[in-house]
Amino acid sequence: MTNIRDLAREAHVSVTTVSRVLNDHPYVADDKRQAVQAAIQKLGYIRNQTAVHLSTGQTHTIGVMLPFVDHPYHAAILQGIARCAFEEGYRFLTWQTNYVESHEHTVLKALAQREVDGLIIVSHSLSVDEILQYEQYGPIVFCEYHPHASSVYINHYTAFQKGLKALQSLHHTEIGICLGRPDSTNSLARKQAYQDTVSDDARPEWIYEQALTIEDGAHVARAWMNQSQRPTAILTASDHVAAGIILELREQGYRIPEDLAVIGFDGSDLAVVLNLTTVAVPYETIGRHAFSIAISDSWQQHPQTEIPTTLKNGTTASILCVK
């Protein structure tokens, strides 16, 4: 493997001059520059990036920690990160943690070990404090709201409130909600929005937890059918869950939204094909913002960037479907 020393010898210049040519530095005579370039051609030289990384102390790589890569929600954030990273000449490493804490530690360690210049945390199960201990090694940006950390987030409280108020404006008073992991930051905010907005009509038995997948949605539907007192509308935390509920209920002969109004969350392809009423989230934008914070110096101020959501009208809970 030929290196810059070989080039220097071949071109009859010093390694410094070679390095200058390689990095487009000024102050190098044209004849020498050409001599170096000729040597590069002749010897088929290719720069070793690892050596650059060691020498400069930077890898130009950002790490991304997320539970799963194959969920539309996360993939869309990745999309934003990918676009931005490419534009900036950065790479990104992805770690899939499945919310396993030991795996999350692996990711944090990678930051400490200088494998990456910074970290974007899409979702996590370790405590924020524990994660922030690694901030001494480089920028850590969350895609969730955390007041004492750099975070790019959607306001799950107001987003959920938006859905709930829409249902109320359709004269629903018996409203249920679906949550994902019950103790996650997002779920807590959503539950709070539920209690504040629906207030007196809020009922614990209408809060369906651990609802994350299509399959989980079907479970929720079955639970709903078995209840003596049923909500007339359900706001979910993902389009997948909404889809599961709707499919199962239709299967059983119920009509949506007449028997049960359902609102999704995400604005994914599922919402398009099922024509779901849903809370659309610009995930790609979140990824872009998170990335640009991670590679700038602004992260040190722990900036808070809220990304707005929009309620997208469909046929599973719309004015058109209500008398």
Indicate whether 79 belongs to the interface with a copy of itself (CB under 8 A): yes
User: Which of the choices a copy of itself, DNA, none does residue 223 contact, using the CB cut-off of 5 to 8 A by kind?
Assistant: none
The residue (of 48 and 296) whose beta carbon lies closer to DNA is 48
Judge contact between 278 and 266, C-beta under 8 A. yes
- Give the interface with DNA as residue ranges (CB under 7 A): 1, 3-5, 12-17, 19-20, 22-23, 26-29, 31-32, 45, 47-48, 51-52, 54-57
C-alpha neighbours within 13 Å on the C-beta side of residue 148: 8
- How far, in Å, CA of 227 to CA of 79, rounded? 41
User: Which of the choices DNA, a copy of itself, none does residue 75 contact, using the CB cut-off of 5 to 8 A by kind?
Assistant: a copy of itself
51 token code pair: 């050596």
Instruction: Tell me the closest approach of the beta carbon of residue 97 to DNA, in angstroms.
Output: 25
Coil, helix or strand for 31?
Answer: helix
Q: Fill in the per-residue mask, 203 to 242: x = in contact with a copy of itself (CB under 8 A), - = not in contact.
A: -----------x-------------------------x--
User: Which of the choices DNA, a copy of itself, none does residue 230 contact, using the CB cut-off of 5 to 8 A by kind?
Assistant: none
Instruction: Tell me the closest approach of the beta carbon of residue 50 to a copy of itself, in angstroms.
Output: 5
The residue (of 13 and 166) whose beta carbon lies closer to DNA is 13
Among the listed residues 152, 107, 150, 113, the one whose alpha carbon sits nearest the alpha carbon of residue 125: 107
- How far, in Å, CA of 212 to CA of 237, rounded? 8
Helix axes 4-11, 15-22, angle to 10 degrees: 110
Instruction: Tell me the closest approach of the beta carbon of residue 84 to DNA, in angstroms.
Output: 23
Judge contact between 2 and 43, C-beta under 8 A. yes
208 token code pair: 């369906």
202 token code pair: 């809020």
159 token code pair: 């987003």
Coil, helix or strand for 238?
Answer: coil
Q: Hey, which bits of the chain come out as E strands?
A: 61-66, 91-96, 118-121, 140-142, 150-153, 175-178, 207-208, 233-235, 261-266, 277-280, 304-306, 310-312
Indicate whether 114 belongs to the interface with a copy of itself (CB under 8 A): yes
Indicate whether 132 belongs to the interface with a copy of itself (CB under 8 A): no
User: Which of the choices a copy of itself, DNA, none does residue 26 contact, using the CB cut-off of 5 to 8 A by kind?
Assistant: DNA
Using only the alpha carbons of the chain, give its radius of gyration. Answer: 26
Q: Fill in the per-residue mask, 23 to 52: x = in contact with a copy of itself (CB under 8 A), - = not in contact.
A: -----------------------xxxxxx-
With contacts defined by CB under 8 A, name the span among 20-28, 192-200, 227-235, 265-273 that binds a copy of itself.
Answer: 265-273
Indicate whether 53 belongs to the interface with a copy of itself (CB under 8 A): yes
User: Which of 113, 226, 228, 301 lies at the binding interface for a copy of itself (CB under 8 A)?
Assistant: 113
Binding residues vs a copy of itself (CB under 8 A): 46-51, 53-54, 59, 61, 68-72, 75-76, 78-79, 82-83, 86, 91-96, 103, 109-110, 112-115, 137, 214, 240, 243, 247, 269-270, 272-274, 284
